[in-house]
């Protein structure tokens, strides 16, 4: 039997020492604690139980032991005994197997059973196990995070598994749905033109946290904040997942693409009082979670049954350690924080003006180069878009999403809101001199309709989720364009294509950082399901056959992204505040007549002429969200002999809907007819190198 010694409280987790592995875990109220070692993931009996002596193996609230002779790949877990007193917010269960909160790997065997962790009794043979890992054993070949400025960033929100799991992906069964599968599709991402992928959760999550018979797909059900999800590795092996994840990051970096992780630090997979005991609940319930003020029940600001106590010193340190690990050891470029407003609540669950954890992330020098993006709301009613704390935090701009949806749908009262959203939402961000890139603009994301479904369904169709269609939001600001769901009506399909292009045009031409959803570039559909969290199947996977059937939309998106990145269509510049940028940009608003904008609630027509701070190009955009065509008066036909050129007209059939700048046709008339539900963009150069002359390519 391998010898044991006292060990050390730092570092937390399983770390290598001179003669073996040191284990350290926090538990303030445990009366006894055992370290269990296993040979196989589904073993119901450990090969060794090491009972820690509180006099020898405990320093303050940290239990630790060094076990000689152990190495990488060792399976382990804890059992903690103590008070089971919900009134005191303690729920110790000395029979339950517990994961290490700092484990770098988590193993889930075929016998894993979530229900066994929720009912009384031992569950060792049906529990997940922690895995000893040695992350430093990897050759990064000089790779470092890219630190691309927001002004050069176009984000593509995607799911690691769903991106390549569809049989039409053309990959072998072994590669589909894996980190390595993503590597195989990097050429597609490069051709699309995106500069960053935002990956739905890749922390190890509980695939059984969903209705019976389904599988948790999204991954917003974490059991670890350090271990990459083993289900995305080729053999579902925890240690292989670490290296395969890093292979993916390294390959994406070589292609010039950043990796942003969607991280869940607001709740865990343990759920409410009736949920399973995996880790945190069994080690120190009152530290890791928030509780209702005068009850023993969990606060539910996440909508999933519990809320992490992020501003407790122990939890705050764990979150910071996790972020540093993913930047330093896994080389990720940034994070999007799910329901980040939960993290702004104090230890009583009350919103606080200066939350320590958020300021710690904002000011951490080890995270200084990483993008930090907040979903600035929570399920408890807290909505902080435009008011999130910190100097570096950017925000998912939910108001951009809603207002652009309503404008394209043709709602009343949108004429004043639309230009505000396109100009970086100064009503939200000008008061703190934020940079324009700090508004993350999006129309669709994983949570809700896809872009295709936004123009194909008036209501959600979530019956397959087995929750009686009660789940998912009811207000989508969608319009089916005349028929619910798929149709053979060519007129409806043409209108849907037009509306899709309208959304994409507004997204890519607006000030701020654009984010698009995986598959929107080819009208991927979820068949009207706006909450596919439990649909790990073809309902939510990327259908690669659509590259051919919707090649016109794909071409449109590729050119739009080129416009944004190479022609500075968004007028965005880094390290310049939104106020400074707007002050240096010439903008004139019009209606159907020049210099006569119609801001009335019933108006659906708006035009604008603008010249960016670099003074190299002039743009003129016209939008008609009315059901009839409108004649728009144009500014003078030429500037120093340089005419307007038609760049975009979303009503035209491809390839005339969007033009390469060097081949864009001249527009010499004094009026332009804008068809119903159409956006038109004209451009001309103010300098010879600007790129709109017929004989010049994009700069």
Task: Please state, in angstroms and rounded to a whole number, the distance separating the CA atoms of residues 446 and 469.
Answer: 18
Q: Which of 93, 206, 338, 378 is catalytic?
A: 338
Nearest alpha-carbon partner for 546 in 450, 650, 472: 450
Mean pLDDT for the stretch of residues 204-220: 97
Q: Which of 198, 240, 243, 375 is catalytic?
A: 375
Mean pLDDT for the stretch of residues 446-464: 98
Mean pLDDT for the stretch of residues 549-555: 98
Q: Which CATH code fits 157-567? A: 3.20.20.80
User: Burial letters for 591-619: b for 16+ Cβ neighbours within 10 Å, e otherwise?
Assistant: bbebeebeeeeebbbbbbbbbbbeebbbb
Share of the chain above pLDDT 70, in %: 97
Q: What is the per-residue pLDDT across 411-421, written as a single tens digit (0 to 9) for each?
A: 999 999 999 99
Task: Please state, in angstroms and rounded to a whole number, the distance separating the CA atoms of residues 201 and 223.
Answer: 11
What one-character DSSP code corresponds to residue 344? G
Catalytic (active site) residue 338: yes
pLDDT for 697 equals 39
Nearest alpha-carbon partner for 664 in 623, 629, 617: 617
Task: Please state, in angstroms and rounded to a whole number, the distance separating the CA atoms of residues 623 and 610.
Answer: 14
| Placement of tokens 């990051």 in the chain | 249
Q: Under a CB-based contact definition with an 8 Å cutoff, are residues 232 and 179 in contact?
A: yes
Residues 573, 574, 579, 583, CA torsion sign: negative
- Can you identify the CATH homologous superfamily of domain 4-131? Immunoglobulins (2.60.40.10)
User: Parallel, antiparallel, or unpaired for β 439-442 and 513-517?
Assistant: parallel
Q: In this structure, how many other beta carbons lie within 10 angstroms of the beta carbon of residue 187?
A: 9
Residue 570: band (very low, low, confident or very high) from pLDDT cuts 50, 70, 90: low
- pTM (2 d.p.): 0.97
Task: Please state, in angstroms and rounded to a whole number, the distance separating the CA atoms of residues 239 and 241.
Answer: 5
Pick the CATH number of 583-685 from 2.60.40.1180, 3.40.50.1000, 1.10.3470.10, 1.10.287.130: 2.60.40.1180
Nearest alpha-carbon partner for 75 in 114, 120, 23, 119: 23
Residue 699: band (very low, low, confident or very high) from pLDDT cuts 50, 70, 90: very low
Task: Please state, in angstroms and rounded to a whole number, the distance separating the CA atoms of residues 38 and 13.
Answer: 17
pLDDT for 1 equals 62
pLDDT higher than threshold 80 for residue 696: no
Which range has the worst mean pLDDT, 124-133, 287-296, 498-507, 650-659? 287-296
User: Parallel, antiparallel, or unpaired for β 105-107 and 90-91?
Assistant: unpaired
pLDDT higher than threshold 60 for residue 635: yes
Catalytic (active site) residue 464: no
Annotated domain spans of the chain: 4-131, 157-567, 583-685
- H helix or E strand, kind and range, residue 263: strand 258-263
Share of the chain above pLDDT 90, in %: 89
The two three-digit tokens of residue 549, written as one number: 């059937």
- H helix or E strand, kind and range, residue 567: helix 551-567
Cis, bond preceding 11 (omega within 30 deg of 0): yes
Would you say the CATH fold of 583-685 matches that of 4-131? yes
Q: What is the per-residue pLDDT across 96-117, written as a single tens digit (0 to 9) for each?
A: 999 999 999 999 999 999 999 9
Q: What is the per-residue pLDDT across 355-411, written as a single tens digit (0 to 9) for each?
A: 999 999 999 999 999 999 999 999 999 999 999 999 899 999 999 999 999 999 999
Nearest alpha-carbon partner for 63 in 93, 96, 101, 37: 101
Residue 164: band (very low, low, confident or very high) from pLDDT cuts 50, 70, 90: very high
Q: Under a CB-based contact definition with an 8 Å cutoff, are residues 593 and 633 in contact?
A: yes
Q: What is the per-residue pLDDT across 327-364, written as a single tens digit (0 to 9) for each?
A: 999 999 999 999 999 999 999 999 999 999 999 999 99
Task: Please state, in angstroms and rounded to a whole number, the distance separating the CA atoms of residues 585 and 509.
Answer: 14
Average pLDDT, the chain: 95
Residues forming beta bridges with residue 81, ordered by sequence position: 32
Mean pLDDT for the stretch of residues 438-461: 98
What one-character DSSP code corresponds to residue 222? B
pLDDT for 317 equals 98
pLDDT for 432 equals 75
Mean pLDDT for the stretch of residues 33-51: 98
Mean pLDDT for the stretch of residues 254-283: 98
pLDDT higher than threshold 80 for residue 612: no
pLDDT for 57 equals 98
pLDDT for 296 equals 81
551-567 and 490-509 helices cross at what angle (nearest 10)?
A: 20
């Amino acid at each position: 039997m391998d010898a044991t010694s006292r060990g050390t409280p730092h570092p937390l987790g399983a770390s290598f020492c001179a003669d073996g592995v040191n284990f350290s875990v926090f538990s303030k109220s445990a009366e006894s604690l055992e370290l269990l070692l296993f040979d196989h993931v589904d073993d119901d009996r450990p090969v060794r139980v090491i009972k820690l002596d509180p006099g020898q193996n405990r320093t303050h609230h940290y239990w630790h032991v060094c076990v000689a002779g152990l190495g990488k790949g060792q399976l382990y877990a804890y059992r903690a005994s103590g008070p089971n007193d919900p009134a005191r917010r303690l729920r110790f269960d000395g029979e339950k197997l517990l994961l290490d909160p700092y484990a770098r790997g988590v193993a889930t065997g075929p016998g894993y059973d979530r229900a066994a962790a929720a009912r009384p009794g031992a569950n060792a043979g049906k529990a997940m196990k922690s895995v000893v890992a040695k992350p430093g054993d990897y050759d990064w070949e000089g790779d470092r995070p890219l630190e691309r400025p927001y002004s050069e960033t176009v984000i593509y929100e995607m799911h690691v598994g769903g991106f390549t799991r569809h049989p039409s992906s053309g990959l072998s069964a072994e590669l589909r749905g894996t980190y390595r599968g993503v590597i195989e599709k990097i050429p597609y991402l490069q051709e699309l033109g995106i500069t960053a992928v935002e990956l739905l959760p890749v922390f190890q999550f509980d695939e059984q946290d969903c209705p019976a018979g389904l599988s948790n797909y999204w991954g917003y059900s974490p059991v670890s904040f350090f271990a990459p999800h083993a289900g995305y590795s080729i053999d579902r092996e925890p240690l292989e997942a670490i290296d395969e994840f890093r292979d993916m990051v390294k390959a994406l970096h070589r292609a010039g693409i950043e990796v942003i992780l969607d991280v869940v630090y607001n709740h865990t997979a343990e759920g409410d009082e009736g949920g399973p005991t995996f880790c945190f609940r069994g080690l120190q319930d009152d530290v890791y979670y928030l509780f209702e003020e005068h009850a023993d029940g969990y606060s539910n600001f996440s909508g999933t049954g519990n809320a992490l106590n992020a501003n407790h010193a122990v939890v705050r340190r764990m979150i910071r350690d996790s972020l540093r690990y993913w930047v330093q050891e896994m080389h990720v470029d940034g994070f999007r924080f799910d329901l980040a407003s939960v993290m702004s609540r104090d230890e009583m669950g009350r919103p606080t003006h200066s939350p320590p954890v958020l300021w710690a992330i904002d000011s951490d020098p080890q995270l200084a180069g990483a993008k930090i993006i907040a979903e600035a709301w929570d399920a408890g009613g807290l909505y902080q878009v435009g008011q999130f704390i910190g100097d570096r935090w950017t925000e998912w701009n939910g108001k951009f999403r809603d207002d652009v949806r309503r404008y394209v749908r043709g709602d009343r009262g949108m004429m004043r809101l639309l230009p505000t959203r396109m100009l970086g939402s100064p009503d939200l961000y000008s008061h703190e001199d934020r940079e324009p890139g700090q508004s993350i603009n999006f129309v669709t994301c994983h949570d809700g309709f896809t872009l295709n479904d936004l123009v194909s369904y008036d209501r959600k169709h979530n019956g397959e989720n087995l929750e009686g269609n009660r789940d998912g939001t009811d207000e989508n600001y969608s319009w089916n364009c005349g028929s619910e769901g798929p149709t053979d009506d060519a007129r409806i399909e043409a209108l849907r294509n037009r509306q899709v292009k309208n959304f994409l045009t507004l997204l890519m031409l607006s000030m701020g950082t654009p984010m698009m959803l995986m598959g929107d570039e080819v009208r991927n559909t979820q068949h009207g399901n706006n909450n596919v969290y439990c649909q790990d199947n073809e309902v939510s996977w990327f259908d690669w056959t659509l590259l051919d059937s919707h090649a016109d939309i794909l071409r449109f998106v590729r050119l739009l992204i080129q416009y944004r990145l190479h022609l500075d269509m968004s007028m965005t510049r880094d390290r310049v505040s939104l106020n400074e940028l707007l002050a240096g940009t010439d903008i004139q608003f019009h209606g159907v007549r020049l210099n006569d904008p119609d801001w009335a609630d019933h108006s659906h027509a708006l035009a604008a002429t603008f010249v960016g701070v670099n003074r190299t190009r002039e743009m003129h955009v016209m939008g008609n969200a009315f059901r009839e065509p409108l004649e728009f008066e144009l500014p003078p036909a030429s500037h120093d002999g340089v005419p307007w050129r038609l760049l975009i007209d979303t009503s035209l059939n491809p390839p005339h809907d969007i033009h390469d700048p060097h081949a864009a046709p001249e527009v010499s008339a004094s009026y332009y007819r804008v068809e119903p539900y159409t956006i038109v963009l004209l451009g001309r150069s103010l300098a010879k190198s600007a790129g709109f002359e017929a004989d010049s390519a994009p700069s």
